[in-house]
Amino acid sequence: MRKQMTDVEKSIYEESEKINSVKKIVKARSSAVETFQTTPEELSSEDWKAKTFSFPNNTVRLGTVFSGIGAIEHAFQRLKLKYKIVFAGDIEEKCRQSYFANYEINEDDWFTDIREFDATQYRGQVDFIVGGAPCQAFSMVGKRLGFEDARGTLFYEFARVVKETEPKVFLFENVKGLINHDNGRTWQVIHDIFEELGYDVHFRILNSKDYGIPQNRERLFCLGFKKPTEFRFPAPIELEYRMYDFLEDYAYTKYFLKEKGIKFVTSHKNREKSYTQVNGDIALCQKRNQQFNWHGDFVYHPVAEGEPFEEDFDEFIFDVRDVEEKYYLSEKVAKYVLAGGTKGFRTSTKTDLDVARPLLQTMHKMHRAGVDNYVTHKGRIRKLTPRECLRLMGFKDSFKIVVSDTSMYQQSGNSIVVDVLIAILKQMDITTYGVNYEG
């Protein structure tokens, strides 16, 4: 019996006259490209945080595609800059709900399928276009089918919208793997198309942990300027916060793992694969499907001395003998290393101890689960809440959550990190590309 394809598989192999036409075009161009040497552009030596906007009264007319939950819109809100949403759109209905709950946009200026979106009506009315085409076709953890994946051709739609609207500047965001896909040929094709549209193209891989957010999330950022522009991407800044600082003071019982989940997170096999970490300083890359598995970031809540044990958590208690002994600390070490259980009480970070606490690896190597923290028979491990995921994507608590947990996990995992966008907007002085309605 033939196995029925999932919705994801259908989207990968979807065919239409337009998709097949785009595939032929990019395939022909790709075959003519030699290996592309990607040389990272130099970073600026300026302190972008100290920079001020030249024209704070200007309004930036903004158009976004693959809009998601509006990362660039939220960046403008956080910077308290004037902006007008000219158009936006996303194929996910739940994204539409989140977007309309948080931003002002006319119904007529929202589109669902970019392939059916005629942007010519907005020619000359947009200053800045932002979008990140679906990245699964180029992601290291995906099938990496590139242009053979129907989703991989959607960058062409982004380029078409740029061509039809002629913005002063555009920002294209995607996964790091796009750079080296097909030995660099894929990115060469995209890069050349942007240049052929008449734009001065600048690109670089940036990591969220270098711009104020404790999340290891490397993404490609590509800026295109209508006029030749001297631009260097913003320099990294010292990370002042750790993931722990972004946690909520209270989390509902439903976010805590039950016995099966705890065993998985602290298992030997999972620890070796480095897919999971508990109480890491820097979050792993946020994933859209983190609602559905136990890979990712978890928080350990030990029971502090004198703290009453809530009856609601009885379902999480299990026999110590059911878990491998090597995952448990001795009573002496556990009392020291796992002391405290609230945000107001932290474990010591000193390194001159009789029993040294294992050092955390850098996030590009990923932390190991079950090393920094261990599960006691009354311990509680929980996953991050949707609000915490939003915080780790740079969204302030003013962002309204109007969809289910499942949708919010997906939307946050698909978004662009707001703080990286803020650094770019300040570095490029986005207000110079706006218009003054008061003048």
Task: Cite the active site residues.
Answer: 135
Alpha carbon separation from 346 to 245, 279, 331, 433 (Å, rounded): 11, 11, 19, 46
- Is residue 341 within 8 Å of residue 301, measured between CB atoms? yes
Q: Are 287 and 294 in contact (CB under 8 A)?
A: no
Burial of 135 (0-12, 13-18, 19+ CB in 10 A): buried
Tokens of 46: 């300026």
Amino acid at 318: F
Question: 387: part of which helix (H) or strand (E)?
Answer: helix 386-391
Q: With 0-12 CB in 10 A as exposed, 13-18 as middle and 19+ as buried, what is 185?
A: buried
**CA 70 – CA 102 distance, rounded (Å):** 9
For residue 284, which amino acid is it? Answer: L
Q: Where are the beta strands (DSSP E) in 49-152?
A: 59-65, 82-89, 110-111, 128-131
**Run of H or E including 201:** strand 200-207
Measured between alpha carbons, how far is 342 from 345 in angstroms, rounded to an integer? Answer: 6
Is residue 195 within 8 Å of residue 225, measured between CB atoms? no
Residue with tokens 């051709």: 153
Separation between Cα atoms, residue 109 and residue 306, nearest integer Å: 57
d(CA 29, CA 27): 5
